[in-house]
A and B are shown apart, each in its own frame.
Chain A
Amino acid sequence: MYSSIIKKVLMALSGIFLMVFLLQHLAINLTSLFPDDGNTFNKISHFMGYNPLVQFVLQPILIFGVFFHFIMGFVLEYQNRKARISKYIYHKTRSSWVSKNMILSGLVILAFLALHFYDFWIPEMDYKYINFKQPDSLKYFHELQEKFYGQTTRTTIYCISFILLGLHLNHGLSSSFQSVGISNKKEKNLQRLAIIYSFIISFGFSFIAIYHYFVH
């Protein structure tokens, strides 16, 4: 159907779309660190939760993007495994562990996403669209604290997932540049951008989780 290059490009573009979303998600979550008892965080979260454009246009696009990226990842992995039925007895190539195991880090992220949906998204959908409760613009910060304050297991799982997410993003972003044909080996700035971006996401989300683990 599609050529191998088109599939790579679609994978790259859906990945870049999700990376932009992650940056936006981190920016909103960082407001939970403001010393204003969660007022800013509550205001933005309420806006995101009840704005029709966000809820009925952007959210479905995001969910489609997530599904597309994962399904495409599985399709590519299946096709790639099929391309070498007869395996090596001994194969030791010079490439990074992360680049060879994107499907593994992707599966961890998928499992994490299920947990994250269970923690925040499903209760939110239940609150709004199943029980039809009145909007409460003050509940978001409280929910966040409830999930992390003193919750060692959840905080640890989140932090491990964020580290793997960072590794996945680092290879994913630099790989995306290559896939859409804008990579240039002599221009190391794109590689640096991938490292900086993945560090910001990984460290930023981990810091927020750890902060709320200790501070109430």
Chain B
Amino acid sequence: MDLQLKIWRQKNKLNKGEIKNYSIKNIEPDMSFLEMLDILNQGLISSGEEPVAFDHDCREGICGACSLVINGAPHGPDKGTTTCQLHMRRFNDGDTIYIEPFRGNSFPVIKDLVVDRSAFDRIQQAGGYVSVNTSGNTVDANATPIPKPDADKAFEAAACIGCGACVAACKNSSAMLFVGAKVSQYAHLPQGKVEAKERVTNMVKQMDKEGFGNCTNTGACEAHCPKEISVENIANLNREYLLSKIK
């Protein structure tokens, strides 16, 4: 298939970017979206042009590195998939495809389609962990009985790969789904209860410090999350936060 691509090009963090048009021919329907970009880049390199910079790593929907907004939707038109799991058969011959980076002040563009998502790392570092005694008395995590419903909820929240699609989809660039998932992941487990108050307080404080917007419950985050993390985790985050202020 032949396609028209409208891709955001930006030299670096300081430069103002713009949409540039590219034509690409003979794309196989079974190629992945990233493979299509690889072919585009090969052509650009051959003709002496700067290739399009984009993030990718595992290419199997696990790492959360790929981060494109395709035709207005983070990770493209399919539900519950990452950009790397998107295939060209989802498009038609002659289509025009818009490709932009995830946008938000807290996710500044580094180059072209690559954004700096270290704000998520800093939120995680603020409290997204459990402290474990490793002095030789370490308790096997499996030795602590956990009710199945709690384990399931924690596991569902832990499926978040921290890609940032929730921020990219939200009209307010809110990171509440990410923070909600990370807080819920531990809140449902006995191991996470000990530091629950500090965790939620510090993670929310860091989230606000990073400049993410406020959640207005549009549900776009859940709708575009490649791991289909539920907005129930945001309600859980709110509950944990309010309880931490009361207790």
- A92 and B71 in contact, given A80-B172, A99-B216, A100-B171 (Cβ under 8 angstroms): yes
Could you tell me the distance between the alpha carbons of A102 and B172 in the complex, rounded to whole angstroms?
13
Contact of B103 among A79, A88, A94, A180 (CB under 8 A): A88
Q: How many residues of A contact B (CB 8 A)?
A: 40
Question: How far, in Å, is A10 (CB) from chain B's closest CB?
Answer: 11
- A4 and B204 in contact, given A99-B218, A175-B216 (Cβ under 8 angstroms): yes
A153 close to B (CB within 8 Å): no
A154 close to B (CB within 8 Å): no
* Contact B214 A180, beta carbon cutoff 8 Å: no
* A82, A183, A184, A186 interface centre (most CB from chain B within 10 Å): A183
> How many B residues are at the interface, by size bracket?
35 or more
* Contact A4 B208, beta carbon cutoff 8 Å: yes
* Contact A100 B212, beta carbon cutoff 8 Å: no
Residues of B at the A interface (CB closer than 8 Å) are: 6, 8, 19, 69, 71-73, 98, 100, 103-106, 109, 169-174, 176, 204-205, 207-208, 211-220, 223-224, 230-232, 234-242
Residues of A at the B interface (CB closer than 8 Å) are: 3-5, 7-9, 76, 79-80, 82-96, 99-100, 102, 171, 174-175, 177-186
* Subset of 20 A-B contacts with CB under 8 Å: A3-B204, A3-B208, A76-B216, A84-B104, A84-B172, A84-B213, A88-B69, A89-B100, A92-B73, A96-B219, A99-B216, A100-B171, A102-B216, A175-B217, A178-B217, A178-B235, A179-B215, A179-B238, A181-B239, A182-B235
